[in-house]
Amino acid sequence: MKHTLETIAKLAGVSRGTVSRVVNQSPGVKPQVRQRVQQIIDENGYVPHPQARSLAGGTTGNIGVIAFSDNPDYLTHHIFYEVLQAIQADSAANDYDLLLFANRSSSDEQYWKRVATRRKVDGLVIMGEHILEEHLLFYRQQQIPFVLIGKRDFVKLPLACVTSNYYSGAYSATKHLIEKGKRNLVYIHGLANMYHENARYMGYCQALAEAGLEVRPELVIEGHARQKDAALQMRKLIEEGLPFDGVFAANDLMAFGAMEVLQQRGINIPQQVAVVGFDDVQAAVYYSPALTTVRQDKRKLGEEAMRMLLDMLKGNMAADEARTVMIDCDLIVRETT
């Protein structure tokens, strides 16, 4: 016989609510009653369903990762899967199962809400370029602890975030190009109006300013974080005849797009134009020539996010505490500079 809260309650001669409080280790049950109920649970081999425990106010033993993106290929993104590996390892080491959710923004606009209302998880790690304040406010109202990978600033919502130090990474990349004798530097933007994009651009500008160089707006182009868009804009730049001798792209994919066009036009890399990317995707070292880039410590991003989330779940950190953990980046010099 498969037992339920109701059948255990009947055998113990108590209410369903009493059994629920015993199962979830909640207060409000006399010691002798708790002992009797627990004995009946043990004797009958009753195992509560994780979701039922959650609905009753207990825990599920699950940690969720949700990705907010309109790109159906986001789950194969180089950063996402490396971060996810670290989250999975730490969740398993702490006896949590991992559930993966991907926002179905085009086909199911309420999916992201059900992640919380169905109570399948004890906490969330949230990623993606389309995280809205509406999402986070709802999870906070539902009392679901969460940590963001990638910084966000919402005035009325203190957040726990883990982010790479995009500013210093971009600064070091730009300074490296300048130290190589490059003076007319193209900057290829990624996604507009994002924290990480603004930080990278500021690092680029700071390095130019320290070298006595001005930001030339005509050399700042939009790549939309895509290889093909970066290639298109680089092609236009060359056709317009604007002189440049260095390229800093806000991610490696856009750097690949720029290199593709430069090679098609017979422009030598790095002698005529040096190129630096950002992220250090796995393909960077195998590209020809091998790409100089800024390496994000993607495993560390996942590890730090899990550390904060576990602190919340253990009561060592308030779920609404504002905290930002900044992970340093490293410049990896290869053949394109």
H/E element holding 22? helix 16-23
**What's the CA gap between 86 and 204, in Å, rounded?**
30
DSSP single-letter state for residue 80: H
In sequence order, what are the residues at sequence separation of 6 or more whose Cβ sits closer than 8 angstroms to the Cβ of residue 14?
Answer: 33, 37
Residue 113 and residue 78 in contact, taking contact as beta carbons nearer than 8 Å: no
Give the β-pairing of 160-164 and 123-127. Answer: unpaired
Positive or negative CA dihedral for 313, 75, 68, 297?
positive
User: In the structure, how many helices (H) and strands (E) does the chain have?
Assistant: 12, 12
DSSP single-letter state for residue 218: G
Helix (H, G, I), strand (E, B) or coil at 127: strand
In sequence order, what are the residues at sequence separation of 6 or more whose Cβ sits closer than 8 angstroms to the Cβ of residue 286?
Answer: none
Start-to-end C-alpha separation, the chain: 70
**What's the CA gap between 115 and 103, in Å, rounded?**
10
pLDDT < 70: residue spans in the chain: 1, 25-27, 48-58, 71-74, 103-109, 119
* Nearest alpha-carbon partner for 130 in 70, 75, 175: 70
Conformational region of residue 45, where left means phi above 0, alpha means psi within -120 to 50, and beta covers everything else: left
Positive or negative CA dihedral for 118, 121, 127, 133?
positive
**What's the CA gap between 231 and 265, in Å, rounded?**
12
* Residue 93, CB-side half-sphere exposure with 13 Å CA sphere: 10
Cis omega before residue 72 (within 30°)? Answer: no
Burial 190-224 (b: 16+ CB within 10 A, else e): bbeebebbebbbebbbbbbeeeebeeeeebebebb
pLDDT of residue 115: 80
Residue 290 and residue 334 in contact, taking contact as beta carbons nearer than 8 Å: yes
Condensed to tens digits (0 to 9), the pLDDT of residues 225-281 reads: 999 999 999 999 999 999 999 999 999 999 999 999 999 999 999 999 999 999 999
* Nearest alpha-carbon partner for 48 in 63, 36, 33, 37: 37
